Amino acid sequence: MTLTLSNTLTRRKEPFVPLDANHIRMYVCGPTVYDRAHIGNARPIIVFDTLYRLLKHLYSKVTYVRNITDVDDKIIKRSLESGKPINVITEKTSRFFHEDIAELNALLPDVEPRATQHIPEMIDLVKRLVDNGYAYEAQGHVLFSVSKMKNYGALSGRSMDEMIAGARVEVAPYKKEPADFILWKPSDATQPGWDSPWGFGRPGWHLECSAMSSKYLGETFDIHGGGQDLVFPHHENEIAQSCCAFGHDFYAKYWVHNGHLMVNGEKMSKSLGNFFTIREILDKVPGEAFRLYTLGTHYHQPLNWMEDGLKQAKQVMDRFYTALRGTPEVDLTGVAPDAELVEALEDDLNTPKAIAVLHTLLSVLNKAESGQDKAAAKAKLLASAHMLGLLYRNPEEWFRGNAASDGLSESDIEALIQKRADARKAKDFATADAVRKELAEKGIVIEDTPSGTQWKRV
């Protein structure tokens, strides 16, 4: 089957035809590091990590670039509010981001450029636009003149009036037109800045991604990804400045956007009390349950985040790890993922269907009787699950998890299990039952097997 993707630019699902089949290039907008990433930020991380895994399976060479925005007005505001230097905020927040998404089994991108390390490339891009007549200087600012680009608005499919009405357009006397957007802006003594032909200043947000993508992927490339909220103005403006700077009629060939995330049917916001960081969710469930829940909805559709759904995802992962418990070790070298699962992913990253295939493979493992059949079924299940970023943990590690604040440590649990074993040996079944009940009340389920008593947190 041929890989197909929903292309926002053409508004249809279409076959993926790479610019160079020997080198697939993908850019995805990364975080602005001023605070801990929230669950809405996690969705594109998981979606495009899954696409990256698929591309690596299908093609010999893939370059995945995901940036870090570490110069931005939100970061400046946080610095002023907290009294902490900007670099302290961005370094700490970047570390938190990497720690959180590592627990989601997100692979590292091939390149992760930081905006502040690419200021010369940004200045060069602005120079090109000024020289080409697409940008103008006004009161220390450099702005892109949207009226100079005839196809402006093609990505979002909006007219100029709609784009101005639907965006928070900054009204400023130095603008020739309301929709003109900033490429470079002046900085005062309290703001980060760099010397440029237009004075001491800093880049506009849209400019950053164009400069970094062109450096690492070229002036044109295959796939640009991100959340649906970035279509306008961010991605629309990226296209405008990149095409006009480099003289091409396209920037990225395929524009792939994941749908919005809602919480219990409402937009996530702190004022509604339904705002959750990735870390807050990881404190409740393992990252793989988080990931499974996210992949259970097709990326192109809105995802309605619900507590019950997250709990169900954890229970599903429990079933997979229960099946893996006690199975022989397997070598995955040369083991291919299930063809039906790969076909599901090739069909516009149909992760719900791919998850259904995993359940079929789980059934095969549960029904396997001989050691050889169990090993083969386990290998196929793991190789397939890894395409979705799942089933990387040891089953015992999965079930033991982390003790809750009011829970029991592993040594506490083992001591109680031994107490129960001693009671059963002494035929003191009342004590044995009492221990089982105590463990159950703490969320610990025990199971007696021929090889001994096993336990897991639920």
Rounded Cα–Cα distance for residues 351 and 299 (Å): 8
CA 271 to the chain's CA centroid: 24
| Higher pLDDT among residues 451 and 401, named by residue | 401
Which of 9-13, 229-233, 327-331, 441-445 has the least mean pLDDT? 441-445
pLDDT tens digits for 322-368? 999 989 999 999 999 999 999 999 999 999 999 999 999 999 999 99
Give rounded-to-5 percent helix, strand, coil for the chain. Answer: 45, 15, 35
Delimit the domains of the chain by residue range.
20-261, 284-398, 403-457
Predicted local distance difference test score (pLDDT) of residue 280: 96
- Retrieve residue 280's tokens: 């807050």
Average pLDDT over residues 376-390: 98
Give the single-character DSSP code of 403.
-
Of the chain, the percentage scoring pLDDT greater than 90 comes to: 80
| Strand positions, DSSP E, 279-406 | 303-305
Q: Closest Cα to residue 29, out of 90, 89, 112?
A: 112
Rounded to the nearest integer, the mean pLDDT of the chain is 92
> Does the pLDDT at position 406 exceed 60?
no
Q: Between the CA of residue 125 and those of 119, 138, 171, 305, what are the distances in Å?
A: 10, 17, 25, 40
Selected residue with higher pLDDT from 275 and 402: 275
What confidence tier does 438 reach under pLDDT thresholds 50, 70, 90? Answer: confident
- Model pTM score: 0.89
CA distance readout (Å), 449 to 325, 380, 388, 425: 11, 26, 31, 16
For the residues of 329-363, what is the DSSP string, one character each? Answer: P---TTPPPPHHHHHHHHBT--HHHHHHHHHHHHH
Q: Which amino acid does the sequence have at 85?
A: P
pLDDT at res. 405: 38
Specify burial of residue 215 (Cβ count, 10 A radius: 0-12, 13-18, 19+): middle
| Strand, coil or helix: 385 | helix
**DSSP code for 233:** I
Residue 73: predicted pLDDT: 95
Is residue 403's pLDDT more than 60? no
Per-residue pLDDT at 169 exceeds 60? no
Domain at 284-398, CATH from 2.130.10.30, 3.40.630.10, 1.20.120.640, 3.40.50.1240: 1.20.120.640
Enumerate the β-bridge partners of residue 227: 258
Alpha-carbon gap, residue 58 to 83, rounded angstroms: 49
Q: Evaluate whether 20-261 and 284-398 have a shared fold.
A: no
Look at 63-72, 153-162, 240-249, 447-456 and tell me which has the smallest mean pLDDT: 447-456
DSSP strands (E only) in 187-314: 201-203, 221-227, 252-258, 261-263, 266-267, 303-305
Kindly report, residue by residue over 413-423, the tens digit of the pLDDT: 878 887 787 77
DSSP character for 109? P
Structurally, what CATH architecture does the domain formed by 20-261 represent?
A: 3-Layer(aba) Sandwich (3.40)
Flag the least confident range among 143-147, 168-172, 430-434. 168-172
What are the tens digits of pLDDT across the range 177-213?
999 999 999 999 989 999 999 999 999 999 999 999 9
Residue 440 reports pLDDT greater than 90: no
